[in-house]
A = this chain, B = another copy of it.
Amino acid sequence: MIVVMKPEAMSREITSVIARIETDGYKAHLSEGEQHTIIGVVGESPTPLREENYSSMEGVEKVVRITAPYKLASRHFHPADSVVPLNGSQMGGSKILMIAGPCSVESREQIIEIACELKEAGATALRGGAFKPRTSPYSFQGHGEKGLQWLAEARERTGLPIVTEVMDTTQVEMVCNYADVLQIGARNMQNFSLLNKVGESQHTILLKRGMSSTVEDLLMSAEYVLSHGNNRVMLCERGIRTFEKATRNTFDVNAIPVLKALTHLPVIADPSHGTGYWEYVEAIGRAAVAAGADGLIVEVHQCPEQAYSDGRQSLKPERFRAMVQQIGRIAEAVGRTA
């Protein structure tokens, strides 16, 4: 950490900063420039450094953090790629994995039928929401535990592992009973109570980036899960909120190579939410894999115009089948398989 003093800082203000650094158990290293005195904080101490406390001291212009605020998630701490087992393959390995399914579990028949189609088309896992976070209290909120049971039945039929969202700490135990992967949705990325709870569960986690969260925020949320000794975490880029309205969200493809550089965790992409229109899903799925994503999560529905939610961004099964082929060719072009 570096403390930059104001040009007009008085020497007693500088002395106070140094005293505080020493009280916190660190060493102060002074550097006097023409305009600014700069104080480096070096050494180690059990007391964590609170930037804000220094930045609110008198005479301080700003405080610059040097080290990343996350540790367990960082590639510096764990240089090799982590992989997460999924259906006999590994998310984060050389194979590009495809998670697919409808936005919502709508009925027993629907989810079993689509699971069979997806299995045949080459999907690695089945997604489907039983608990649905909906902007409106008047929209369909999911079938709850009944939906989870139907998902489990679809798994029995197809062997596809289940990825499904958990919205609240009180649901974690129940969802763990049915699901292979717990999804934390974008709106809950900073629901820290929930992150702690799913961390404790030791279940595999798919953590979606919040729509206004930075890459660093996402890694800090992963750190919550990892801090419970739960290392089976996949990160998911799903688009951020910007001024552009031609698409539902702006898919931040940059985040893929950035995350691969900063963290050892697998990175997947959701081109369905990332665009909001099925017409663009294939193109963005290809782009994500070309940029280095380890897998995709894609919304597929037999009849999008009858879907209870997200029909506009859902592929029909035959388009998904074609997409799997395309992704296979891109995977090869970047030295991977699909």
| A290 in the interface (beta carbon within 8 A) | yes
| A57 in the interface (beta carbon within 8 A) | yes
> Chain B residues with Cβ under 8 A from A240's Cβ?
242-244, 250
| A254 in the interface (beta carbon within 8 A) | yes
| A52 in the interface (beta carbon within 8 A) | yes
> Chain B residues with Cβ under 8 A from A275's Cβ?
254, 257
Given that A31-B31, A136-B69, A251-B253 are contacting pairs, would A168 and B187 also be in contact in the complex, using a CB cutoff of 8 Å? Answer: no
| A255 in the interface (beta carbon within 8 A) | yes
Q: How many copies does the complex hold?
A: 4
Q: Whole-angstrom distance between the alpha carbons of A275 and B36 in the complex?
A: 25
| A241 in the interface (beta carbon within 8 A) | yes
- CB nearest to A335 among chain B residues: B329
> A280, B258: Cβ atoms under 8 Å?
yes
| A317 in the interface (beta carbon within 8 A) | no
> B284, A254: Cβ atoms under 8 Å?
yes
Within 8 A of B (CB), among A188-220: 188, 190-194, 196, 210-212, 214-217, 220
Q: Beyond A56-B307, A70-B136, A168-B168: 6 further Cβ-contacts under 8 Å?
A: A29-B31, A34-B42, A137-B196, A168-B169, A170-B170, A188-B191
> B254, A190: Cβ atoms under 8 Å?
no
Contact of A40 among B31, B288, B329 (CB under 8 A): B31
Interface bin, chain A: 35 or more
Within 8 A of B (CB), among A241-265: 241-247, 250-258, 261
| A11 in the interface (beta carbon within 8 A) | no
| A304 in the interface (beta carbon within 8 A) | yes
Given that A191-B191, A283-B257 are contacting pairs, would A32 and B42 also be in contact in the complex, using a CB cutoff of 8 Å? Answer: yes
> Chain B residues with Cβ under 8 A from A40's Cβ?
31, 33, 38, 40
Q: Whole-angstrom distance between the alpha carbons of A2 and B287 in the complex?
A: 34
Q: Mark A1-26, 1 if CB is under 8 A from B, else 0.
A: 01010010000000000000000000
> B280, A290: Cβ atoms under 8 Å?
no
> B257, A311: Cβ atoms under 8 Å?
no
> B243, A214: Cβ atoms under 8 Å?
yes
> A53, B168: Cβ atoms under 8 Å?
no
- CB nearest to A51 among chain B residues: B312
Contact of A333 among B139, B224, B257, B333 (CB under 8 A): B333
